[in-house]
């Protein structure tokens, strides 16, 4: 294990369950050069009461002892300032804020009090609901408290319909987050996203294709006996094989700067197309303004449903012949139409 490797691969059990379990997983993960940090839940937020809630301080004592023996580093979830203080006491340098905590600004504020001046690296999981502002808000609160070593973790969102995932990925929400915070590295947690062992590889692959900076994967020496999240944990041997298969994508990570003449040419063509699209949109809005004047003169309503239905039918047929996705085209047309209506109403004032 090399703590400085990039991309960042964090692996380890959902929960620390015993000294034996932590020792076994540590020994196996310490042998994997791609793994940079070992995770282990010490205080477990349970959606419903009655389940295993973590071992607390004894787990931290084992982490400290095993980190010295194997030269590894650990991280765990914190939800209260007291958790942060205990982590510091036992030499834990990285902690994460869980999805249920990120969703609650009161708790984030309280945690920030504990993290202020700690020098810790803080991972911030996305909030349970797909509200990018809560995720951004948690990061802004941390920064205001002087925490500047921040990494985001995309673990998916809890939805009524999850499309077969435990937490729907909603990659577009994470994209929005990345647009707002381009300098914050982002990891994918395919374990909590998929909720199932057999989905881990597929989700990790998508994340690396989207140029994520690494992964957080749940790994247990005996997943079927795990006290929490047993369906989604994989063995250290599974992780090792998975990282081998992902090796090419992992090593490609962060290569944005290494341009090639072909890439430069393709990008410049894309730039030209975007400029033409914007010029065309400008002309289209100009025509909308002129139409608004004609409609006003003839005392016609701005929105004409029959005309709009014809437009959609015609454009969708054209989009299909060009191989464009119909729901994408429809969404795009609706956005353009809404703006066109807004422009026409503006003229009405």
Specify the residue, 14 or 208, whose C-beta has the smaller distance to Mn ion.
14
Beta carbons within 8 Å of 81's beta carbon, 6+ residues apart: 110, 111, 113, 114, 115
Any contact of residue 155 with ligand PEP (CB under 6 A)?
yes
The one of ligand PEP, Mn ion, none whose footprint includes residue 125, by CB under 5 to 8 A per kind, is ligand PEP
Specify the residue, 52 or 308, whose C-beta has the smaller distance to ligand PEP.
52
Of 7, 12, 40, 41, the one binding ligand PEP by CB under 6 A: 41
Specify the residue, 14 or 35, whose C-beta has the smaller distance to ligand PEP.
14
Beta carbons within 8 Å of 176's beta carbon, 6+ residues apart: 132
Q: Minimum Å distance from CB 215 to ligand PEP?
A: 13
DSSP state of 198: G
Number of residues that bind ligand PEP (CB under 6 A): 10
What is the C-alpha to C-alpha distance for residues 317 and 205, in angstroms, rounded to an integer?
Answer: 34
Residue 335: strand, helix, or coil: helix
Asked whether 32 and 1 are in contact (CB, 8 A), the reply is: yes
Name which of residues 174 to 213 contact ligand PEP (CB under 6 A). 192
Specify the residue, 121 or 155, whose C-beta has the smaller distance to ligand PEP.
155
Q: Minimum Å distance from CB 147 to Mn ion?
A: 24
Task: Write out the two tokens for 311.
Answer: 């437009």
What is the C-alpha to C-alpha distance for residues 241 and 217, in angstroms, rounded to an integer?
Answer: 13
No. of helices (H) and no. of strands (E), the chain: 14, 8
Any contact of residue 77 with Mn ion (CB under 5 A)?
no
Any contact of residue 14 with Mn ion (CB under 5 A)?
yes
What is the C-alpha to C-alpha distance for residues 266 and 305, in angstroms, rounded to an integer?
Answer: 40
Nearest residue to ligand PEP by CB is 98
Q: Which alpha helices (DSSP H) does 145-260 contain, by range?
A: 171-180, 190-194, 200-209, 236-245, 247-252
Specify the residue, 90 or 135, whose C-beta has the smaller distance to ligand PEP.
135
Specify the residue, 124 or 343, whose C-beta has the smaller distance to ligand PEP.
124
Of 1, 99, 152, 203, the one binding ligand PEP by CB under 6 A: 99
Distance from chain centroid for Cα 263: 27
Q: Minimum Å distance from CB 15 to ligand PEP?
A: 7
Any contact of residue 98 with ligand PEP (CB under 6 A)?
yes
Asked whether 262 and 251 are in contact (CB, 8 A), the reply is: no
The one of Mn ion, ligand PEP, none whose footprint includes residue 121, by CB under 5 to 8 A per kind, is none
Interacting residue ranges for ligand PEP, rule: CB under 6 A: 14, 41, 45, 77, 98-100, 125, 155, 192
């Amino acid at each position: 294990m090399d703590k400085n490797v990039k991309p960042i691969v964090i692996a380890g059990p959902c929960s620390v369950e015993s000294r034996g379990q932590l020792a076994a997983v540590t020994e196996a993960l310490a042998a994997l050069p791609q793994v940079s940090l070992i995770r282990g839940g010490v205080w477990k937020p349970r959606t419903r009461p009655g389940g295993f809630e973590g071992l607390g301080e004894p787990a931290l004592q084992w982490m400290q002892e095993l980190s010295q023996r194997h030269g590894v580093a650990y991280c765990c979830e914190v939800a209260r300032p007291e958790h942060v203080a205990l982590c510091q006491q036992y030499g834990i340098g990285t902690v994460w804020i869980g999805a249920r905590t990120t969703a609650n600004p009161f708790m984030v504020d309280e945690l920030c009090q504990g993290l202020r001046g700690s020098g810790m690296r803080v991972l911030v999981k996305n909030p349970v609901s797909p509200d990018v502002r809560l995720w951004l808000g948690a990061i802004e609160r941390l920064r205001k408290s002087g925490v500047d070593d921040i990494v985001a973790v995309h673990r998916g969102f809890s939805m009524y319909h999850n499309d077969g995932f435990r937490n729907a990925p909603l990659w577009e929400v994470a994209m929005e987050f990345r647009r707002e915070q381009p300098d914050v590295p982002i990891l994918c947690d395919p374990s909590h996203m998929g909720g199932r062992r057999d989905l881990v590889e597929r989700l990790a692959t998508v994340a690396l294709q989207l140029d994520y900076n690494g992964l957080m994967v749940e790994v247990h020496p005996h997943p079927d006996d795990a006290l929490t999240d047993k369906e989604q944990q994989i063995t250290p041997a599974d992780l090792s094989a998975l990282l081998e298969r992902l090796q090419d994508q992992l090593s490609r990570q962060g290569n944005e700067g290494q341009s090639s003449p072909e890439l430069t040419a393709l990008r410049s063509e894309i730039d030209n197309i975007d400029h033409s699209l914007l010029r065309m949109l400008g002309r289209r809005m100009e025509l909308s303004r002129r139409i608004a004047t004609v409609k006003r003169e003839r005392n016609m309503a701005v929105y004409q449903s029959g005309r709009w239905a014809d437009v959609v039918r015609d454009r969708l047929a054209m989009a299909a012949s060009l191989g464009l996705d119909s729901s994408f085209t429809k969404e795009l047309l609706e956005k353009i139409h809404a703006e066109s209506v807004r422009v026409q109403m503006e003229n009405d004032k």
